[in-house]
């Protein structure tokens, strides 16, 4: 597998993003899948990174990204409860036929390294109870439940937030 940096608006990234949204819609019963607003500029180095993984036949099979997040400056900001220096994991996804090969863990390791090199202090992420594979990956990689939920879904009961210091 080849893992390369890409733009979030790259055609292969859009294709896999559509697939992950479909999977979220199936798992959570929400036709939108994920309403988190994402802009390609959020993943532009050094304030973020978007990765695409390709198989031996150059088919896109996985993605993962991080974006810089800092403490909200206004009390009513919808993504409150981030801390200065946070790097938020977004769009971790492996197509079903490529799962079970350690690809997500490889992407996660690369994202953590890049965020650390960019000066970020901790990794944060939000997932949900209908993604037990994701929760297992993150907890086995040293992520712990966040003391306070953050992000768009912080008030949703099925939401789970995790943190990991990287400094």
- The beta strand positions in the chain, using DSSP E, are 2-5, 48-54, 60-69, 86-94, 122-128, 144-145, 159-165
The three-class DSSP label of residue 35 is coil
- Where do the DSSP E strands lie in 14-158? 48-54, 60-69, 86-94, 122-128, 144-145
Global pTM value: 0.93
- Number of compact structural domains in the chain: 1
CATH for 87? 3.40.630.30
pLDDT at 50: 98
**Positions in the chain whose pLDDT score sits under 50:** none
pLDDT of 152 reads 82
Structural domain for 42, as ranges:
2-165
């Amino acid at each position: 597998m080849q893992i390369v940096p890409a733009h979030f608006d790259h055609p292969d990234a859009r294709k896999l993003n559509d697939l992950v949204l479909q999977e979220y819609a199936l798992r959570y019963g929400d036709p939108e899948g994920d309403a988190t607003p994402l802009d390609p500029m959020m993943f532009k180095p050094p304030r973020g990174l978007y990765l695409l993984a390709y198989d031996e036949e150059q088919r896109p099979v996985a993605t993962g990204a991080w974006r810089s997040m800092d403490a909200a400056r206004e009390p009513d900001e919808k993504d409150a409860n981030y801390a200065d220096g946070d790097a938020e994991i977004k769009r971790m996804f492996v197509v079903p036929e490529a799962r079970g090969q350690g690809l997500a863990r490889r992407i996660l390791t690369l994202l953590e390294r890049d965020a650390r090199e960019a000066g970020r202090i901790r990794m944060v992420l939000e997932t949900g109870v209908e993604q037990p594979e994701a929760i297992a990956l993150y907890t086995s990689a040293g992520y712990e439940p966040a003391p306070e939920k953050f992000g768009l879904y912080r008030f949703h009961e099925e939401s789970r937030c995790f943190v990991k210091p990287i400094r």
